[in-house]
Each structure stands twice: as C-alpha cells, then as structure tokens.
Structure 1
Amino acid sequence: MDDTRSACGRAPGGSEAVFRQGSASALGPSLGAAAVCAMVALQVASGVSADPVPFTTPVVGLLALAAVCLTAASYGWARSSAAFAAAALTGYAAEFAGVRTGLPFGEYRYTGVLRPELAGVPTAVAAAWGGMGLAAYAVGRAAFGQGAASPPRAASRRGRFLRSGWPALAGGACALTAWDLFLDPQMIRLGLWEWSGAGAYRGVPVSNFAGWLAVSLLVMAVIRGVLGEPRRNAGPVVPYGVMAAMETVGFAAVFSPPDPLVAAAGGTAMGAFTVAAASRLRRGGRERGARGEAAAARRTGPERVRGRRRG
C-alpha cells in the first residue's frame, strides 16, 4: 500500500491526499512533456542565435520544471518539489563553497554574465543541480535499482545489494557527472565561468569531475531521503535522454566551431546511461505484463472449471 493510501486510512484529510496524488499522476506527464518540448525549442533557438547566453536560464528553468512534473507523476507534487529544492540547495552550497575555497571542484569563478546571482552563484546553476539531479536519480533507479515491482530475492546476494539502494545512488551520481562532460565546455565557451588554470579536458581540470561525483552522490542521497521509498518513475529519464541527444548534436554539428571530442565523450557517457535505463525499463515492463497475465490466468482458471461443471 502506498503512502497516499495509508494516509487516507489514518487521517480525515486522506481524501485530499488522494486527490493531490491523482492530480499529479494526471497532470504531471502532460506538463512535463510540454516543458521538454519547450526546452528543445529553446535549445534549437540558442544554437542558431548569435547570442545564446540569454537562453541559458530559461532552458535550465524548463529542465527543472520538466523534472519536477515528471517526478510528481509518481511521488506527488509536494515530494517532487521538496526533492528539487533540497537538491538545488545542496548544489548551491557546493558552488558557494567552491568559488570561495576551491573545494570540491577546483579554483574557478563566475564571470557575472549569467544572471541573476545569489551571493556570487547564479541561481540557474542551483536550478540545474536540482532539475538534472532529479532526472539523473530516475536514471540511476531505472538502470541500477531494484524496482518495487520486482520479485523478492531474499536468497540472492545481488538482490540484497540492489535493495540496499547504493547501486542506484552511485549510478545516478555518475549519470549526473556525465552531464558535466557537456556542461563545463559549453559554459566556458559562453564565458559564464573561468578556471584559474588550464585543465586536461577542454580547459576543465580533473578535480572538477571528482568534485562533481562527490557532490552528485550527496545530491542523490538527499533526493532519496526526501522522496522516500523508491517507486517506478520512468518519466524523468526522458529529459535526461533529450539533453544528451541535443548536446551531442550541438557539439558535433551546430556550435561554431564544432567539437567532436566533447560530442563523443559526453554523448557516449550520457547515452550509455540513457540506454541502460531505457532497456531495463522496457524489460521491467515486459516482466510486469507477464506476471499480470499469469495472475489473470490463475484467477480465471477456477472460474472456467466451475463454469464447465455448471454446464
């Protein structure tokens, strides 16, 4: 029994909780899909614009909106919004410390081009941590977690490891870090931030990716803590995959000059996580369908026997 139904059974306000969950289930996917489409349109516009910087904050905002709406379809509006806020605050705290101490990413600074800022950190950066954090969490759950619909595997060491949640959290953290293979080179191109020294990957130091992985793991843990017991939540995988495709095409053919290295590195990394999540979701759907058919057959079998006896 899910949390909403339990609340309904315990408290007079339970019917309102059911209504809110139903509203999220009905509206979340539609609003999320609309936000993804708008995000793609703005990304295309920014790719052909002479000044793509003004598109950055709206694109991030639509990414965040899509992630919240698609997460709400499974967890409800309150939890999805709270998880986004918690992830955004976690990312903001890391950036706030980073520009002042160099930890955990390395020595860098924001140039003041990306507005608005809060204490020296662009608010769009915090929103990016929250929005893509939710999407990467869903990717990690889909690709490396054990879904609630999976059969129990008490005797399986692998099953116990999956149920611990750590593979999903680590997978989500790696999926989120993979995005930075695109993000940092693109933002450096746009002049939104600068590194104090030349790094090995298009000017980005290796320490940045180590810091991203550490912060991403913390973001995954925070999201897991807010959302609670994992549920099937395939929707946010979509904006993750769309972002991977758009960035790959952008660096390969749209941006001037193109950068095949970044297109290959980011596209391979994000693409691998997208394919892994989508493949496991399809397999899970087939397994649930087969179990449903088997259950239906077990229910109808005795009825057919009774019908033949009456006949």
Structure 2
Amino acid sequence: MNSGRPAPGAVRDAVRRGPSPGGLDVLGVLGGGLLLAVIAAQVASGLQPRPIGLAGVVVLLLTASALAFAARAHPLPRAAAALGAAAVTGYAAEWVGVRTGLPFGDYGYTGLLRPQLGGVPVVVALAWGGMGLAAHATAAAAAPGSRAARIGLGALALTAWDLFLDPQMVRLGLWTWHDPGLYRGVPAGNFAGWLVVSLLVMAVIEAALTDPGARSAGLVAIYTAMAFMETLGFAAVFDPPDPLVAGVGGACMGLFSVLAWRRAWRR
C-alpha cells in the first residue's frame, strides 16, 4: 500500500535536481540570501576604518553560502565532506607554515583574529574551505570534462584570490612577514606556496565529490562577487585606495570568472 510519502532516495534525487516546476528552490534561496549577506558585510567592513570585527562574519557567511550552493549541486554529505576536506587541508598548511616557514614563507599571525588553534585563526581554515569550493566550481564551469584542468584552473583561481587577501590582511595587521616582499609587503614565494596548497585543496575536493564536473552557478557567483567586491574595495573604498592591487587582483580573478560564465552562456 502506498502511503503517499516519497522514498528517501527520491528525496535526495529531487534535492540534487533542484526545484520542481513551481516549487521552491530552498538551497538556492538560502545560498543566495547568504551571498547577499556576504556582500552587505563586505560593504559595511569597507566603510569602517578598522573592519577586523566583521572579517570573521564575512568568512562565516561566505562558507555557509558555499555549502548551501554546493549541496544544491551535490548530495549534502558529499558537499560537506568537500568543504571539510578543503578546510582541513588549508589549516594543516597554515599550521605547518607558521612553524616552519613552508610553503608560504616566514610569517606569523597576530592575536587580532580569534579564536585560534595552534596559532592559526579558525576563520582562515573556513576561508580555505568556502573559497576552495567556489574556485573549484569556477574551474568546473570553465572545463567540466577534464579533471586535470579543473584541478589546475581551480588552484590558479584560488591563488588569484590571494592577490587581494594577503595585501588586505597585511594592511589590517592580521599577520606579518619576517622579510616583506615587493607586492605590498608580500613575498613572491608566498604565491608559489599558495598555488601548491591550492592544488592539494582542489585534489581533495575532487576526491570528495561524486560528480566534480557538475555545474554550480551559485558557487561561481560567490567567486565573481568576491572578485568584484575586492576590486571595488581596493580601487575606491579602502583608505587609502590601492589601484595596483585592484588592477592585478581584479584582472586575475576576473579572468577566471569570465571563463566560467562564458562557458555557461555557450551552453
């Protein structure tokens, strides 16, 4: 006798497919609402002279939005596993980095970002996870059929974000370099280290997802929004503005965003 209740497998399939005609896309609405909250928090932090208090809020909202969008394209356990694996990989690299100087260079966190585990702020690990998913989805949209291309492009896309992140964190005094470099005090070797760790992050995301080539417009939107907001911030909002970082970071992140959306438009 049919009770009228769908089987659990049917529910999971429906969540993966998205909303039925006329139905409510719960995960899409949740992810979109959280992304709007990320943008609002970014705007609010950019208007404050010392926006450190909102830095953690931005990362938490971004990570939650990334998980919601990832769960819309993949089974929730797989999406959560990918986020967790990326965060743990990033945290491990940071934990080793502050103790050995590898792979990023000789640096250390100040006490401004809390809480910290082993000298590494928790929000830093979450940032690796949330933006890791966004960068991977951006690469998957640009090259859905090639695992090697997704890992390579995703690593480059995530490293491109650091062209904004490191100058901003140094500006705010959230971490310091023993031997400052030419790019707004950031050594060139840091970006080589970011690329290596980003390759590992992309690899663990690929391993965690059952269909890593699946498209997620929501995750690509997160990556694009961060590119736009960071470019705008450095170009016109931060005091003083920094056209160099706005131009370099905006061009690099913008390139990956364009590649992802261009492929989507063709489809």
Same fold (TM over 0.5): yes
| Map of 1:213 onto structure 2 | 195
The count of aligned residue pairs is 254
In the TM superposition, what are the counterparts of 1:189-208 in structure 2 within 5 Å?
189-208=171-190
Identical-residue share of aligned pairs (%): 54
Q: 1:270 aligns with which of 230, 244, 253?
A: 253
TM-superposed CA distance for 1:198, in Å, is 1.5
Q: Deviations over 1:21-53 (max 9, x none)?
A: 434633221111001000000111111113200
Output the amino acid matched with 1:66.
S
1:187 pairs with one of 164, 169, 180: 169
Aligned match for 2:244, one of 247, 250, 261: 261
Taking the aligned partners of 1:121 and 1:210, their CA distance within structure 2 comes to 20
**CA distance in 2 between partners of 1:54 and 1:84 (Å):** 24
State the distance in 2 between where 1:201 and 1:111 align.
Answer: 20
Match of 1:19 among 11, 26, 30: 11
Offset from partner CA, 1:94-127 (integer Å, 9 cap, x none): 0000000000100000001001111110000000
Q: Which moved more, 1:223-232 or 1:38-47?
A: 223-232
Task: Kindly report which structure 2 residues correspond to 1:46-195, keeping only aligned pairs within 5 A, or say none.
Answer: 46-146=45-145, 162=146, 165-195=147-177
The amino acid that maps onto 1:34 is G
| Secondary structure at 1:231 match in 2 | coil
Shift of 1:240: 0.3
Whole-Å Cα distance in 2 between the matches of residues 23 and 122 of structure 1? 34
* Counterpart amino acid of residue 192 in structure 1: L
Structure 2 runs not aligned, ≥5 long:
1-5, 19-24
What is the letter of the counterpart of residue 11 of structure 2? F
Q: Which letter maps to 2:158?
A: L
Q: Deviation per CA, 1:196-225, whole angstroms, max 9, x where unpaired?
A: 011121111111100000100110010010
Aligned partners of 2:141 and 2:263 also within 8 Å: yes
- One-letter code of the match for 1:65? A
Decide whether the 8 Å contact of 1:21 with 1:77 is kept in 2.
no
Provide the residue aligned with 1:8 in structure 2: none
Report the TM-score, using the length of structure 2 for normalisation: 0.92
Tell me how far apart the structure 1 counterparts of residues 9 and 167 of structure 2 sit (CA, whole Å).
44
Q: Name the SS of the counterpart of 2:240 in structure 1.
A: coil
User: In the alignment, residue 131 of structure 1 is paired with which amino acid?
Assistant: G
SS in 2 for 1:203: coil
Aligned mates of 1:38, 1:232 — CA distance in 2: 23
Unmatched tracts of structure 1, length 5 or more? 1-13, 147-161, 285-311
Match of 1:109, SS? strand
Higher share in helix: 1
The Cα shift of 1:233 comes to 2.3
Give the counterpart of 1:280 among 249, 255, 263: 263
Distance 2:78 2:7 in 1: 17
TM-score (norm 1): 0.80
Secondary structure, counterpart of 2:78 in structure 1 = helix
Tell me the distance in 1 between the aligned counterparts of 2:184 and 2:143. Answer: 30
Equivalent-residue separation in structure 2 for 1:232 and 1:38 (angstroms) = 23
Q: Who is 2:37 aligned against?
A: 38
In the TM superposition, what whole-angstrom CA distance separates every residue of 1:153-191 from its partner, at most 9, and x where no partner exists?
A: xxxxxxxxx3xx101110000000000000000001111
Q: Where does residue 150 of structure 1 map in the other structure? A: none
- Backbone CA RMSD of aligned residues: 1.2
One-letter identity of the residue aligned with 2:53: P
- Partners in 1 of 2:52 and 2:132 — Cα distance? 22
Correspondence for 2:204: 222
Q: Is the 8 A contact 1:21 1:75 kept in 2?
A: no
Relative to structure 1, the CA distance from residue 53 to residue 21 in structure 2 (aligned partners, 3 Å threshold; closer, same or farther) is: farther
Over alpha carbons, which structure has the higher Rg?
A: 1
